[in-house]
């Protein structure tokens, strides 16, 4: 797999809910702080989006898609001057997805999903993204059009298996949105996700992700990137926020952590699979990066892990 697919698969994003709402007239909805990542798109109409701690509201139009990865409360409204209604009063339990009508609908249709990340170290993805990812170019809309229309149909006219299809479509829209943000990003932020947009650096990252057990050297990776060793090392650190070998070691430890909690492989076997010649060398590296021993991690005693590995991803500017 490619590096973005690797990270998303390791973090195991799952749909917490999928659905949408069809609003009409004057309306304003307040969403409280949440876990995970929100991903929605405007199928028809237009509205305003205001996220807490961001300076300016965003105007959303038909075909626009937006991601909210920072857990911040937000509001969506036809007019931000209106007094908002808490979303919990609109989505009264039991809510099992589908499209909710507000004021009889007809003016603005929004669909999407709310995802939690069941793998460890969710900040590897979430902190690599800005508070609002707003996709609004014609090229972005064209790529998302089929997914949005298909999801609208599934939510509007439920059929057998429709709930599962809507969940998969919501996840597909999430991945598409992250990819489009990556391809169109010109902010020059710092973090692993920005290196994927660099054709030269991405070649070396693809190689490390494709074969993490290989005995990579700075020289070999620089050659894959088509750069001198010195220029490659400098550019990688400036873009990713850590050295090449630090990134490789941390990625190996994330893979190791996943194996320790989801497989029955022995520590010695995991060490060998990830390119370590001995269990002791692997355990030493694991404790240095993850903050605990492999055995402690496997038993769930890993309070320092997130702090250690989050250095893979330096938050982009707000």
* Digit-coded pLDDT (tens) for 144-199: 999 989 988 888 888 898 888 988 888 889 889 988 888 876 555 677 887 888 88
Neighbours of 133 (CB within 10 A): 20
pLDDT at residue 271 in the model: 95
Answer yes or no: is pLDDT of 228 > 90. Answer: yes
Dist CA 244 CA 196 (whole Å): 14
Burial class (CB in 10 A: 0-12, 13-18, 19+), 309: buried
Q: How confident is the model at residue 314 (pLDDT cuts 50, 70, 90)?
A: very low
Range(s) for CATH 2.60.120 in the chain?
A: 3-184
Q: How confident is the model at residue 14 (pLDDT cuts 50, 70, 90)?
A: low
Local structure of 25: helix, strand or coil? coil
Level-2 CATH architecture, domain 3-184: Sandwich (2.60)
Average pLDDT for 37-53: 95
Range(s) for CATH 1.10.10.60 in the chain?
A: 193-312
Answer yes or no: is pLDDT of 316 > 80. Answer: no
Query: 193-312: what CATH class?
Result: mainly alpha
Task: For residue range 102-152, list pLDDT tens digits in order.
Answer: 999 999 999 998 888 766 566 777 777 889 999 999 999 999 999 989 988
Local structure of 65: helix, strand or coil? strand
Looking at every residue in the chain, the average pLDDT score rounds to 86
């Amino acid at each position: 797999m490619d590096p973005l697919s690797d990270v998303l698969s390791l973090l195991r994003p799952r749909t917490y809910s999928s659905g949408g709402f069809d609003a009409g007239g004057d309306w304003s909805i307040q969403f409280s702080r949440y876990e995970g990542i929100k991903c929605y798109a405007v199928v028809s109409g237009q509205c305003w989006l205001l996220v807490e701690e961001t300076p300016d509201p965003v105007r959303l139009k038909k075909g626009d898609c937006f991601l909210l990865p920072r857990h911040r409360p937000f509001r969506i409204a036809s007019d931000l001057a209106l007094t908002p209604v808490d979303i919990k009063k609109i989505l009264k339990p039991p809510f099992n997805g589908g499209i909710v009508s507000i004021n009889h609908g007809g003016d603005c249709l929004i669909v999407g999903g709310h995802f939690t990340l069941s793998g460890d170290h969710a900040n590897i993805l979430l902190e690599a993204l800005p508070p609002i990812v707003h996709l609004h170019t014609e090229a972005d809309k064209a790529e998302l059009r089929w997914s949005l229309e298909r999801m609208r149909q599934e939510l509007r006219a439920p059929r057998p298996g429709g709930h599962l299809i809507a969940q998969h479509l919501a996840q597909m829209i999430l991945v598409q949105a992250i990819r489009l943000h990556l391809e169109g990003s010109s902010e020059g932020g710092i973090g692993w996700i920005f290196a994927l947009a660099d054709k030269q650096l991405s070649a070396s990252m693809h190689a490390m992700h494709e074969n993490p057990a290989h005995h990579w050297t700075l020289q070999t990776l620089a050659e894959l990137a088509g750069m001198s060793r010195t220029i490659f090392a400098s550019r990688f650190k400036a873009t990713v926020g850590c050295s090449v070998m630090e990134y490789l070691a941390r990625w190996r430890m994330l893979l190791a952590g996943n194996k320790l909690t989801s497989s029955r492989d022995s520590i010695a076997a995991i060490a060998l699979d990830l390119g370590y010649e001995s269990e002791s060398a692997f355990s030493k590296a694991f404790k240095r990066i993850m903050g605990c021993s492999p055995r402690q991690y496997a038993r769930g005693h890993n309070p320092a892990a997130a702090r250690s590995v989050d250095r893979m991803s330096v938050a982009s500017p707000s």
